[in-house]
Amino acid sequence: MRLGIADLRNEREWRSMLGLDRRKFEQLLIYFKEVFYEINHCRLKKLPKEIYHRYCIKTEKDLLFFTLASVKYENCNLLICTKPKIQ
């Protein structure tokens, strides 16, 4: 199943998918872009072509979306799959 930012139609879906609403996502995106630039010394679209063309994520916005969704759902999987320790 492919899901992206365009598929999130209301605040409930934003919170469900990412754990934050659209306004907070946009605020976080400002800082995310700054940090990405500090680390890579360029924007995602300006990466060397041999690197840029290997990835399907083309914008910092999509990268942040993917990162937040990955963290949220990885944590959910750990909670669901891990048996509680009985002492």
Residue whose C-alpha is closest to residue 65's, from 12, 24, 34, 35: 24
**Tokens 């002492």, residue?**
87
At 9-27, the pLDDT tens digits run 999 999 988 989 999 999 9
> Is the pTM value of this prediction over 0.75?
no
Residue 17 near residue 8 (C-beta atoms within 8 A): yes
| The token pair that represents 17 in the structure block | 């998918």
Q: What is the band of 46 on the pLDDT scale with cuts at 50, 70, 90? A: confident
Count of H-run helices and E-run strands, the chain: 4, 0
To which residue do tokens 């759902």 refer?
73
**More confident call, 4 vs 52:** 4
